[in-house]
């Protein structure tokens, strides 16, 4: 199961002088482009109400919420529903040239709960593969969607075996349908690694660089590389992808996991004829991990690609608009939702938008760009934290000790200054 990326803007962030409202209520938790491609900048308009619209890589969206690649975008019917409900964009389930090699099993999902209620689900595992529908069928549906919704953003997620001609053919056929951009699935954590697909590419930077070169030499629409979190340093493949011509990064895809063992049957979940296989973990429980990975990528992009148009789409455990605000504060241009749609339905986008606008009103933000990347400035090293705390403690001690010299007395603060030197 996949999700998405988003493209070309700079990490301008906010001024270090900007401060967030102290009374904000946090509950409920809510390189150069190839010559055949054109870089466009992000812009947004201002209105009396907080404006959620973004223009990403020239693609205008009414809001930053995008259906992530996976079951919520697996056919014409569900993608049409997503557009009708008001999602900012849709990334279709990943396609490849030969769908006959894709064979799914059932059951293929398992949930992690903290209780028995539906709302107690905090984690979701899947062992689902990419689209098992014929490529020609998916292409016809892409074309139909673009004809019916010409002003809505449809992104094709693609993945192919280690073959230059195969990638070129897939890109050519997909682009002919009129899709607005491509997301490259370098991150599916399960299924077909022996075919050098998905995370098998995203975990090998040399292989990734070669394949990105093929893709970016062929593509005529924006390209985003979707990152796997199942790697020691996620900034390494992100850096390689951007240097190889990709306009944006999507992060993160699902985390390799074993959901659990049924203590009655002693079999793993999800259980297929008594057996299972490790799969991708998503939903609320992965959000702290996703935020850390997004922060790492955003810092790298800001420091190494600051003068170039690069973008970031945050993915991982987004259930509310307040969750989305955290990803945007860490530099995300857009936010993808996949498992959340499977739990709450397509109409959930209205709640997401309302939550995000509420956050923006509380801080007097008019546009997404007003606060995107703001919180990156507050991350530092542990050594620096120790230094900062030591200096703060010394400052507080100095204030308690009172004035050091007669020259420090002031007229306005005379009474307070006197009290600062009284011992009882």
Measuring CA to CA, which residue among 96, 78, 99 is closest to residue 87? 78
pLDDT score at 23: 47
Predicted model pTM: 0.84
Cα torsion at 341, 344, 348, 351 (round to 10°)? -130
Cβ distance 105 to 276 under 8 Å?
Answer: no
DSSP-derived secondary structure letter, 424 = -
Q: Where does the pLDDT of residue 400 fall: very low under 50, low under 70, confident under 90, or very high at 90 and above?
A: low
Q: For residue 351, count other CB atoms closer than 10 A to its CB.
A: 14
CATH 3.20.20.70 for domain 54-378, yes or no, is: yes
* The three-state (H, E, C) secondary structure of 73-105, written as one string: HCCHHHHHHHHHHCCCEEECCCECCCHHHCCCC
Give the DSSP per-residue string, 161-203: -S-HHHHHHHHHHHHTTT-SEEEEE----SS-GGGT-THHHHT
Residue 32: phi, psi to the nearest 5?
Answer: -60, 155
- Work out the pLDDT band at 192, boundaries 50, 70, 90: low
Mean of the pLDDT values across residues 380-400? 89
Cis peptide bond prior to 278, omega within 30° of 0 = no
- The pLDDT tens digits of the residues spanning 82-105 come to 999 999 999 999 999 999 999 889
CA 139 from centre of chain: 25
pLDDT of 9 strictly over 70: no
Tokens linked to 257? 């996991």
SS3 259: coil
Question: Rounded mean pLDDT of the chain?
Answer: 87
In which band, very low, low, confident or very high, does the pLDDT at 40 lie, cut at 50, 70 and 90? very low
Q: pLDDT: is 114 or 142 the higher one?
A: 142
Which residue stretches of 189-244 are H helix?
199-202, 205-218, 235-243
What are the tens digits of pLDDT across the range 225-259? 999 999 999 999 999 999 999 999 999 999 999 99
pLDDT digits (tens, 9 = 90+) for 70-87: 999 999 999 999 999 999
Residue 55 has pLDDT above 50, yes or no: yes
Using DSSP's 3-state secondary structure scheme, residue 313 falls into: strand
pLDDT, tens digit, 9 for 90 and up, residues 56-72: 888 899 999 999 999 99
The per-residue pLDDT for 41 is 39
Active site residues: 188
Question: DSSP string of 124-169?
Answer: EEE---S--S-HHHHHHHHHHHHHH-TTSEEEEEE---S-HHHHHH
């Amino acid at each position: 199961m996949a999700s998405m990326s988003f493209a070309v803007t700079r990490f301008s962030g906010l001024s270090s002088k900007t401060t967030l409202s102290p009374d904000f209520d946090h509950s409920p938790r809510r390189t150069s482009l190839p010559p055949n491609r054109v870089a466009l900048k992000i812009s947004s308009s201002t209105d009396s109400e907080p404006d959620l619209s973004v223009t990403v890589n020239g693609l205008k969206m009414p809001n930053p919420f995008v259906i992530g690649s996976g079951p919520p975008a697996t056919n014409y019917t569900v993608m049409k529903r997503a557009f009708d409900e008001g999602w900012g964009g849709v990334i279709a389930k990943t396609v490849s040239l030969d769908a006959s090699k894709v064979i799914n099993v059932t059951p293929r999902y398992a949930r992690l709960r903290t209780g028995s209620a539906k709302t107690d689900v905090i984690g979701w595992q899947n062992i689902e593969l990419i689209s098992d529908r014929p490529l020609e069928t998916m292409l016809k549906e892409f074309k139909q969607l673009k004809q019916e919704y010409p002003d809505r953003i449809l992104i094709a997620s693609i993945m192919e075996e280690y073959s230059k001609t195969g990638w070129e053919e897939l890109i050519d056929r997909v682009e002919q349908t009129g899709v607005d951009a491509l997301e490259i699935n370098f991150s599916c954590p399960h299924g077909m690694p022996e075919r050098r697909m998905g995370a098998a590419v995203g975990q090998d930077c040399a292989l990734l660089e070669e394949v990105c070169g093929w893709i970016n030499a062929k593509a005529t629409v924006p390209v985003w590389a979707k990152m796997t979190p199942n790697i020691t340093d996620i900034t390494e493949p992100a850096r390689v992808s951007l240097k190889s011509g990709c306009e944006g990064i999507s992060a993160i895809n699902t985390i390799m996991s074993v959901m659990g063992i049924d203590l009655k049957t002693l079999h793993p979940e999800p259980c297929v004829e008594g057996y299972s296989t490790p799969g991708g973990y998503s939903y609320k429980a992965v959000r702290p991990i996703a935020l850390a990975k997004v922060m790492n990528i955003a810092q790298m992009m800001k420091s190494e690609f600051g003068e170039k148009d690069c973008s970031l789409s945050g993915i991982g455990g987004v259930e509310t608009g307040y969750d989305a605000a955290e990803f945007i504060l860490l530099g995300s241009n857009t936010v993808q939702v996949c498992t959340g749609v499977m739990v709450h339905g397509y109409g959930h986008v209205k709640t997401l938008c309302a939550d995000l606008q509420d956050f923006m009103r509380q801080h007097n933000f008019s546009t997404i760009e007003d606060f995107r990347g703001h919180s990156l400035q507050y991350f530092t090293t542990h050594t620096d934290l120790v230094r900062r705390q030591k200096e703060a403690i010394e400052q507080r001690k100095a204030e308690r000790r009172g004035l050091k010299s007669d020259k420090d007395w002031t007229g306005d603060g005379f009474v307070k200054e006197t009290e600062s030197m009284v011992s009882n």
